[in-house]
Amino acid sequence: MTSVRCALVAGMISLGSAPAWAQGVEPDSVVYVLSAASRFDVKTGKAGLLGFAGHTHVVRARGFVGRVVYYPDTPAQSRVEIVVPVDSLAVLTSSDTAETRKVTHAMRTEVLHADVYPEISFVSTAVSPTADGFQVQGRLTLAGQTRDVSCDIRAGIGTDTLRATGGFSVKQTDFGIRPYRGGPAGTVRVADRVTFSFEAVGIRSPGS
């Protein structure tokens, strides 16, 4: 098992057919394809004069595709690629309510503009070995804007399975996103900074 530090972020696309990169196996590498057992969540905070009257929300991605290409002998060549559908994002609650549906719809249409920007993608750009494992830098595309992002994770890399957990935060305004506002005169609103957390499970691709 290996400790890994990695830049990663959730993201959002229509699943349809898997991207071309999800198909191939590269020489000297082990390819782990993300399984449905993976979890990608976003936690939003409260802001504004009446922020105390609002709610924190946990948003979960119900669909995604992605892979980790791992080079055991030259780990600096390893990379991560992920896409997640905007329309798969839903506010996580114990019961389905009109308020939950309203917030979910507003997030998809008014905040992320899924009709114009149907996906978020992450592609790593650099992997640097560290004392604890790796640090991975990457490019996150969200709502049509691309920014450099990074985060620390811990991962166990086995023969057939890769497991990774971690978290990071970003500001919505860095991607040109106006945080959601509601309530009287918009006095209840979501904070600019949101926190991502993930538990990724990758299954070794046949032939790798």
Sign of the four-CA dihedral 164, 94, 52, 61: positive
Per-residue model confidence as pLDDT tens digits over 53-74: 456 778 899 999 999 999 989 9
pTM of the predicted model as reported, rounded to 2 decimal places:
0.77
pLDDT at residue 85 greater than cutoff 50: yes
Torsion of CA 40, 46, 52, 54, to 10 degrees: -70
Higher per-residue pLDDT: 189 or 124 = 124
User: In this predicted structure, what is the pLDDT of residue 203?
Assistant: 97
Per-residue model confidence as pLDDT tens digits over 107-165: 899 888 999 999 988 888 987 777 776 777 888 888 999 999 888 878 788 999 998 87
Higher per-residue pLDDT: 173 or 132 = 173
Mean pLDDT confidence for 86-100: 82
> Which pLDDT band, with edges at 50, 70 and 90, does 47 fall under?
low
What are the chain's domains?
Answer: 27-204 (2.40.128.110)
SS (H, E, C) 95-148: CCCHHHHHHHHHHHHHHCCCCCCCEEEEEEEEEEECCCCEEEEEEEEECCEEEE
Residues whose CB is less than 8 angstroms from the CB of residue 168 and which lie 6 or more positions away in sequence, other chains included: 7, 8, 9, 149, 150, 151, 152, 195, 196
Q: Per the structure block, which two tokens stand in for 9?
A: 């972020």
The position carrying tokens 């004392």 is: 131
User: In this predicted structure, what is the pLDDT of residue 193?
Assistant: 86
